[in-house]
Amino acid sequence: MERIGETLLMSNILEFSSERELVDVFLENIHSGVSPWGTASTAIEFDYQSGITDVIAIGSDARLVAFEAKLTRWKVAVHQAFKNTCFAEESYVVLPKSIALRAYTQQGEFLKRRVGLCYVEDSNIVILLAAPRVSPLNLWLNAQATNHIRDNREQLH
């Protein structure tokens, strides 16, 4: 990528200085109780054989939701989110707003993998594409993820 293009890209993602900051702001919004998933219990970095999921949550309706956060590489996040559907009932990609809006123009990539797309803006989580509810293929892994949340609840500092 050209230096000028790189500078423009970086100026669009200055909303967050790191992926961890994006995840932290996302978690603050989920824990606020006004997220699209209601009051949710969450855990970070669920490690399973196919990867490490950034955030998993059990919403007020008791369904397990997985979230993959990226600053720029949304195609990688879509692939990771798709893999998470083996245990999660819904799976989302979380991006900075400017990148999410760009990724939304390729919504077919999300739809064919049954993955949702959202971003954080101020104190709201905005869903651009709702993830359809799926039946997890690995129920034992779904139970393991649920236990991971129970044992490792992410607390706000």
Q: Which residues contact 148 (CB under 8 A, 6 or more apart)?
A: 43, 46, 56
pTM, full prediction:
0.86
Q: Where is average pLDDT lowest: 5-19, 68-82, 105-119?
A: 5-19
Reply yes or no on whether the pLDDT at 102 is more than 60: yes
Please provide the average confidence, as pLDDT, over all residues in the chain: 86
pLDDT in tens, 18-54: 999 999 999 999 888 788 888 889 999 999 888 899 9
Distance CA 76, CA 8 (A): 21
Reply yes or no on whether the pLDDT at 155 is more than 60: no
